[in-house]
Amino acid sequence: MEQLLNLIDGELRPAIGGEWLDVYTPATGQVYGQLPDSDERDVELAVQAANRAFPAWNALGREGRSDALLRLAKAIEDDLEGFVADESRDNGKPLSLARRVDIPRAIANFRFFATAILHFHSEAHLMDDVAVNYTDRQPIGAVGAISPWNLPLYLFTWKIAPALAAGNCVVAKPSEVTPLTAYRLSTLCERAGIPRGVLNIVHGLGPKVGAAITAHPKLPAVSFTGGTRTGAEIARVAAPMFKKLSLELGGKNPVLVFADCDFDKAVKTTVRSSFTNQGQICLCGSRILVERSIYDRFRDAFVEQVKALRVGDPKDADSDLGAVVSQAHLETVLRYIDLAREEGGSVLCGGERVRLSGDLKDGWFIAPTVIEGLGPTCRTNQEEIFGPVVTLQPFDDEADALALANATPYGLASVIWTRDGQRTHRVARALQAGIVWVNCWMIRDLRTPFGGVKQSGVGREGGVDALRFFTEAKNVCIKL
């Protein structure tokens, strides 16, 4: 049985309370190890360590911090296959996906922000002969980071890298459902020359560790990615403390397929945008809206390709989908499929748990599921399912498509399929979303602003936005 440990003040250690939580391999449904069931005492130690480490880390300067983060990126890269295997085992995602996306993007996060900080500049405002103003952007000090289970190391590093690059020290909590790669990262920090206390990783439950990070007065900024309900709870606690908050929350993303699209590309990419990572990416399209004149043709081609997807052992190179992340999540997704049936939806394919054999017989696998026949206001089309389930709805014209697309409380990502350039701009502007992909999906440039509107979040991550979040701007006005 593997025992994972917290990283606090440069030391790998169990929780002060000595309690442990089980961690599971989704593909087998079996416990593989334990993680520290930490509480506010562990967070307190981590916050003290981070605040102690801050002056020296900040004083290292941009280049010193950049070098340290590049060494950490290299250390992950040198252990790529170890990280890939751990991410797949812990999360249930295909090994091939962890190798192609998760781990390379975690490395890229460190490299990107290690170099971005070297180019981070601020503004000067000259008032003719009166005065000159310049903006001094200083790190905040110790900051909190809380991340989810769907892209474990990728989203964990997406916060840690800009926070550290900007000169802060971090108290970070990975998801208790997928703690393994964060633990693996913590074992590399010393070797990579990250000074003790600069990065602290505290494992455990949200209402204990996450809540303690949110409420700690010596963590004046908290960056959170996760569910909308959790985000609301964090805002409820942190807002009256006037903390800086970045909230990246849930989604119910629309995919708008117009009749003039490149049909084959639209079908193929929509299969990918629906079911990559078992549909457990906040950017996955979950409501597919198709212009009525091509609805039947699109549906038939789409369902045919979805039926050909292989649900299988995450270790097999030809598995398209692995397991969903937990028993509880499996049950939630299956309940939503039942709800869709009760609401009058027709299940065109999937709609059930998949039982594999041998070691995988108790694994948490679900067949990719496509549903049609539901209107925009039913719960299936309003609530985030976050699994391998999508719905199809026809639309009549652009206005109808936009009304359907914007008809949820969420506004994270969206996809438009059309060859009409004018329509691209009109629709992209009118979509209530932080991210719009046109004739593609999941192309990511780390310099671009990333985040959502409405109940999908507050603030933006990525590029300059992340470096600005993790710094405080001070205007200095000098009389000429």
Q: Mind telling me the catalytic residues? A: 248, 282
- Write the secondary structure of 85-147 as one string of H (helix), E (strand) and C (coil): HHHHHHHCCCHHHHHHHHHHHHHHHHHHHHHHHHHCCCCEEEECCCEEEEEEEEECCEEEEEC
Q: How many residues of this chain bind ligand NAD (CB under 6 A)?
A: 31
Task: Decide: is 145 part of the binding site for ligand NAD (CB under 6 A).
Answer: no
Report how far residue 128's alpha carbon sits from residue 245's, in angstroms, rounded to the nearest whole number.
36
Note whether 278 and 388 are within 8 A (CB): yes
For residue 356, report the phi and psi dihedrals to the nearest 5 degrees.
-95, 180
Q: How far is the CB of 263 from ligand NAD (least distance, A)?
A: 29
Report how far residue 114's alpha carbon sits from residue 455's, in angstroms, rounded to the nearest whole number.
31
Among residues 94, 141, 197, 210, the one that binds ligand NAD under rule CB under 6 A: 210
Task: Output the CA torsion 303→307→308→312 (10° steps).
Answer: 140
Type and span of the H or E element at 417: strand 413-417
Q: How far is the CB of 284 from ligand NAD (least distance, A)?
A: 9
Task: Decide: is 282 part of the binding site for ligand NAD (CB under 6 A).
Answer: yes
Cα 94–chain centre separation = 17
Task: Decide: is 211 part of the binding site for ligand NAD (CB under 6 A).
Answer: yes
Task: Decide: is 328 part of the binding site for ligand NAD (CB under 6 A).
Answer: no
Task: Decide: is 61 part of the binding site for ligand NAD (CB under 6 A).
Answer: no
For residue 230, report the phi and psi dihedrals to the nearest 5 degrees.
-65, -40
Task: Decide: is 279 part of the binding site for ligand NAD (CB under 6 A).
Answer: no
249-268: contacts with ligand NAD (CB under 6 A): 249-251
407-466: contacts with ligand NAD (CB under 6 A): 412, 452, 456-457
Q: Which is nearer to ligand NAD, 143 or 412 (CB)?
A: 412
Task: Decide: is 173 part of the binding site for ligand NAD (CB under 6 A).
Answer: yes
Pairing status of strand 131-139 against strand 124-127: antiparallel
Task: Decide: is 38 part of the binding site for ligand NAD (CB under 6 A).
Answer: no
Type and span of the H or E element at 56: helix 40-59
Task: Decide: is 398 part of the binding site for ligand NAD (CB under 6 A).
Answer: no
Type and span of the H or E element at 169: strand 169-173
Retrieve residue 231's tokens: 């985000």
Note whether 353 and 21 are within 8 A (CB): no
Among residues 90, 176, 291, 372, the one that binds ligand NAD under rule CB under 6 A: 176
Q: Which is nearer to ligand NAD, 168 or 228 (CB)?
A: 228
Task: Decide: is 394 part of the binding site for ligand NAD (CB under 6 A).
Answer: no
Q: How far is the CB of 70 from ligand NAD (least distance, A)?
A: 25
Segment interacting with ligand NAD, rule: CB under 6 A, options 25-33, 209-217, 298-306, 352-360: 209-217
Among residues 34, 109, 214, 273, the one that binds ligand NAD under rule CB under 6 A: 214
Task: Decide: is 275 part of the binding site for ligand NAD (CB under 6 A).
Answer: no
Q: Is 428 exposed, middle or buried (0-12, 13-18, 19+ CB in 10 A)?
A: middle
Summarize as ranges the residues that interact with ligand NAD (CB under 6 A). 146-150, 155, 173, 175-176, 206-207, 210-211, 214, 225-227, 230, 233-234, 248-251, 282, 384, 386, 412, 452, 456-457
